[in-house]
Amino acid sequence: MSSSEFTLRLARMRDAHSIRSLQQASFYKIGSEVYTHEQIEACIRHLDTLDTRLIKDQTYYVAEAGGELVGCGGWSFRDLAVRARPRRTNGTPSRLDPYSDAAVIRAVYTHPERLRCGIGRALVTRSEKAAIEAGFRIISLAATLCGAPLYGALGYRVTKCFNVILRDGLHLPAIEMQKELGATPFAIAQEARARWEPRERESVPMDGL
């Protein structure tokens, strides 16, 4: 895995096993720099690192090099953020509102032998582009302590520090981060509405809209 060349594509359900293996290998290696072995074990044992709904929604990507997975990551337009009671519709997390909600970066991992090759940056950038195309103006994420430096370099700012409560009496320190995305049709329309003077709004006949 010496080459720095890689390609991105949408993840498929048949990639699930390989994705989980990569995620766990990555977390064991990179996470050991800031977390204890017990914290890592508890996290992998009790928290599923892969949400297959992201694959079904076609918002999760994999990076490949030489026919092997070397990275994975994506985003979500659903209310899947870490919270006690996510909003659900018929058992499925509801869609976020691009006008008022932030899209969410999800589960970005790089193969431990392919660090600093631009894979994580490419996965986040691809996810941000897709979120912008979906109309979102803000994107957020929950970062591990080892992942936060990458996001900081990509323009994300810290909004909150919190602990993910694990079983066995353990917790995992994490950081909530957020970033404003580029202008979108939604943002442009919202700004235009904010600039309208009241008399201008009132002077437009309904049948002329």
Residue 147 near residue 115, CB atoms below 8 Å: no
* Mean of pLDDT over the chain: 84
Residue 66 region, left (φ>0) first, then alpha (ψ -120 to 50), else beta?
A: left
Q: Is the pLDDT of residue 88 over 50?
A: no
pLDDT of residue 121: 97
pLDDT of residue 207: 38
* CA–CA dist 104, 93 (Å, integer): 13
CATH superfamily of 7-203: Gcn5-related N-acetyltransferase (GNAT) (3.40.630.30)
pLDDT band, very low/low/confident/very high, at 94 (cuts 50, 70, 90): confident
pLDDT of residue 80: 66
pLDDT digits (tens, 9 = 90+) for 110-158: 999 999 899 999 999 999 999 999 999 999 999 999 999 999 999 999 9
Residue 153 near residue 173, CB atoms below 8 Å: no
CB-count exposure of residue 35 (10 Å: 0-12, 13-18, 19+): buried
The length of the chain is: 209
Q: Is the pLDDT of residue 196 over 80?
A: no
